[in-house]
Amino acid sequence: MDQLSRIEGLRAAMRNEALDAIAFIPGSSFRYLTGGTFHVMERPTVLIVPLQGRPVVVLPDLEAESWDVLGFDAEVLRWRDEEGYAGAFAQAARLLDLPVIGVEGLSMRVIERNALQAAFPRSELKDVQAATLSLRAVKDAGEIEHLRRAVKMAEAALTLTLAEVQIGMSEREIQLAMMANVLKQPITGPVSPPLVLAGANSALPHGHAGEYRLKSGDALLFDFGVGSGGYRSDITRTVFIHDVSAEDRELYDVVLEANRKGHEAARPGLSCHALDDLCRGHLEASRFAPYVVHKTGHGLGLDVHESPMVMRGNHALLAAGNVITIEPGLYWPGRLGVRIEDDVLITEAGCESLSTLPRELLVLA
């Protein structure tokens, strides 16, 4: 990780947004800039990167040693529980003159915002989430390698799990088997419980595994990912148990063709709007149009959902180094849902699918 170039990229974004600084709490952007992961808890930790001059970090005394090993050049303002954090924030204000401070609206909590506002009472706090996400949108070689590893491990875990699936198993039992197979991989975090949804539950795009037990003819949807160096894969496959009806096969084939069209079209210079319009347009031209409920995809990296969003209305152009998902889906309430999701690297020549598991309809005997 080249910290200096990332800080310079951040400062270029500040100039574009007319900011004097951006303040970060622990999370993906914090890690992207410093390499550090810290708990978000009752003790505020805030990194303030000014447009000019040395960054300042306010952090609890118990995190000081963890900060020091990062080797990140910053003025460190430590505080102890019995003292409280107000004094450290006030000291930051004495060091920095910041009329406009950017914050990430999706992650900045009220406790840190209030601490900043109290220490910088005349400063304007401005949500710059879009700018910080854009900063991370184009991945470097190291980031891409982590994503490759994350995809490979996820696919290995799914392959093992599919071999264990049997009629009569519950969604929860399959989910536990999947978690066990994930933990067999050399993961370096993070890991979240996979979505495992069967039968009519598969029509819930973000449902939760429960006690429903597999029957012949059911769709079985897996949506999950694992981590490598903090970077996350995110893949979905939908299979069928023992048998598949002609109508369910037809619906599956519509989703499969939308996925194929996305792979065929994705390239630098194509807008996210155009890619979504192509994939969703295919779904909407079918007789299953009422069952389209979401956009085609999203960026992937330290967050499962990050820039760029592959959706209508986002006219940002894809660029080499973007990693996105292509995940068309159809969700027929009370019957089934089908989603086929791949992790796709935009290359100079077009795109490369990092996920390689077969997409064609699979019926588990």
Bridge partners of 353? 344
Instruction: Output phi, psi for 78, to 5 deg.
Output: -90, 150
Query: Which CATH code for domain 3-135?
Result: 3.40.350.10
Calculate the alpha carbon distances from 316 to 57, 74, 130, 277 in Å: 33, 34, 12, 14
Q: What pLDDT shows up at residue 1?
A: 61
Class of the domain covering 141-364: alpha beta
| Domain edges within the chain | 3-135, 141-364
272 sits in which H/E element: helix 272-284
Cα–Cα–Cα angle for 297, 37, 89, nearest 5°?
Answer: 110
Give the contacts of 195 (CB within 8 A, at least 6 positions apart): 206, 207, 208, 209, 221, 222, 223, 224
Quick one: three-class SS letters along 124-175? EEEECHHHHHHHCCECCHHHHHHHHHHHHHHHHHHHHHHCCCCCCCEHHHHH
Enter the DSSP assignment of 267.
-
Give the integer Cα–Cα distance in Å for 227 and 248.
Answer: 33
3-state SS, residue 37? coil
Name beta bridge partners: 125. Answer: 101
Residue 6, SS3 per DSSP = helix
Report residue 11 as tokens: 């400062």
User: In this structure, are residues 47 and 55 in contact, taking their beta carbons and an 8 Å threshold?
Assistant: yes
Query: Would you give per-residue pLDDT tens digits along the chain (365 residues)?
Result: 688 999 999 999 999 999 999 999 999 999 999 999 999 999 999 999 999 999 999 999 999 999 999 999 999 999 999 999 999 999 999 999 999 999 999 999 999 999 999 999 999 999 999 999 999 999 999 999 999 999 999 999 999 999 999 999 999 999 999 999 999 999 987 788 899 999 999 999 999 999 999 999 999 999 999 999 999 999 999 999 999 999 999 999 999 999 999 999 999 999 999 999 999 999 999 999 999 999 999 999 999 999 999 999 999 999 999 999 999 999 999 999 999 999 999 999 999 999 999 999 999 98
pLDDT value for 188: 87
Q: pTM for this structure? A: 0.94
Both structure tokens of 178: 């999947």
